[in-house]
Amino acid sequence: MANGRNDPLPNFNFLIEIDGITQGGFTDCSGLGATTEPVEINEGGFNSASRKFVGRTKQNNLTLKWGLTLSHELYDWYRDTVNGKIQRKDGSIVVLDLEGKERARWNFFRAWPTKWTGPDLTAKGNDVGVETLELAHEGLVRG
């Protein structure tokens, strides 16, 4: 915070922490969010108005992307899920400032991989192969 201002943080300097997994080099993280559904109740009698009450909250799945490396810890976690060995893990998405100091954190709980996508491969360019993992979770809290 310079001169009393609270400037926005950059969105490109972040890291992901997941229990027991040391995979690094994430290029994208999306899905930070939730939706609370309104429940509409119509009142009886002569009143034609309806009232809105707070309903169920649904958590968005988190989507993580990283450059293809020799590590396959995240893929193995997904394969374990496919094979019926569900391992729920807690983790964090951490935003860093330009000096590498932690400035924001979201903690997610009881996550498990619901979808894995391998890299698109082509001999026509020199892009990095990117893997994607989608995580279902039971809560996201800003720390």
Give the domain ranges of the chain. 14-142
Task: Give mean pLDDT, residues 12-32.
Answer: 88
The architecture CATH gives domain 14-142: Roll (2.30)
Whole-number pLDDT of residue 62: 98
2 has pLDDT over 60: no
pLDDT, greater one: 21 or 104: 104
- 9, two tokens: 């943080």
Q: Are strands 50-59 and 34-42 parallel, antiparallel or unpaired?
A: antiparallel
Whole-number pLDDT of residue 24: 67
Stated pTM of the model: 0.86
Q: Quickly state the pLDDT bin for 106 (edges 50, 70, 90).
A: very high
Nearest in space to 108 (alpha carbons), one of 29, 41, 10 = 29
Question: Who's near 132: CB < 8 A, 6+ residues apart?
Answer: 63, 64, 65, 115, 116, 117
**Cα atoms found within 13 Å of the Cα of residue 43, Cβ hemisphere only:** 9
Q: Quickly state the pLDDT bin for 3 (edges 50, 70, 90).
A: low
DSSP notation for 104-139: EEEEEEEEEEEEEE-----TT--PPPEEEEEEE-S-
